[in-house]
Amino acid sequence: MQELAADIAAKVEGGSGLESDKKAEAAKAQSAGKPAADATLQQLQELTKGLFFVSESEAPLEAVSYEVPSGELTDAVLHKVLVEPVSAKIEKLELAQFLRNHTADDGVLGDVDLANRYKALQMFMKQELSDTRVYRVGSGPQLYAYALGHSAEGKLTGFKTMLTET
């Protein structure tokens, strides 16, 4: 799947940020005595660069990574990790459902190349993260959506954005 995401990225002007040598660069930096940054987060930062989620407004996608305690990812744990009020409602969605209007060639973006960037982001998250889900936190008219999964580095990683719904 990562190869397919890279192929899509290669055909999109500006690319999606997927570069096959990013992991090699991180390993090289680590072997040179420098701490390697979170490779998954770095790739997500490139993939989300310049992308906006279109709801009743446009909000940028921001790559995020959180330390999480071991064990089940309950609503209480999510509230604490995301620093959201305990009273905030959490709704869970599948990533494909959340991005469906952005990955469709004839979707809200009206731009096939841009839709392909969202497809590359979705494929990367599905391949590189486990248990990927979207958590809508809060209630209207503005709430946050966190698209997160467990990375190989043991973190809860993905992107967040703000939704406007009236």
Rounded to the nearest integer, the mean pLDDT of the chain is 82
Surface-to-core class of residue 48, CB atoms within 10 Å of its CB (0-12 exposed, 13-18 middle, 19+ buried): buried
- The whole domain housing 112 covers 2-164
Report the pLDDT value the prediction gives residue 67, as an integer from 0 to 100: 93
d(CA 117, CA 122): 9
**What confidence score (pLDDT) does residue 97 get?**
96
Q: Which tens digits make up the pLDDT trace of 58-89?
A: 999 999 999 988 888 999 999 999 999 999 99
Whose CA is closest to 143, among 98, 84, 100, 99?
84
**What is the tally of structural domains in the chain?**
1
In whole angstroms, give the CA distance from residue 11 to residue 7: 7
DSSP string computed for 75-96 = HHHHHHHHT--TTS-EEEE-HH
What is the structure's pLDDT at 100? 94
Query: In the chain, pLDDT over 70 holds for what percent of residues?
Result: 78
Structure confidence at residue 20 as a pLDDT band (50, 70, 90): very low
pLDDT at 163 over 50: yes
pTM passes above 0.85: no
Query: pLDDT over 90 for what percent of the chain?
Result: 59
Residue with tokens 């890279």: 6
116: pLDDT strictly greater than 60: yes
Q: Which two three-digit tokens encode residue 26?
A: 């991180």
Q: What is the pLDDT of residue 41?
A: 93
Residue 118 is part of a domain; what is its CATH number?
3.40.1460.10
Beta-carbon neighbour count of residue 66 at 10 Å? 15
**122-157: per-residue pLDDT in tens?**
999 999 999 999 999 998 789 999 999 999 888 999
The confidence score (pLDDT) of residue 34 equals 34
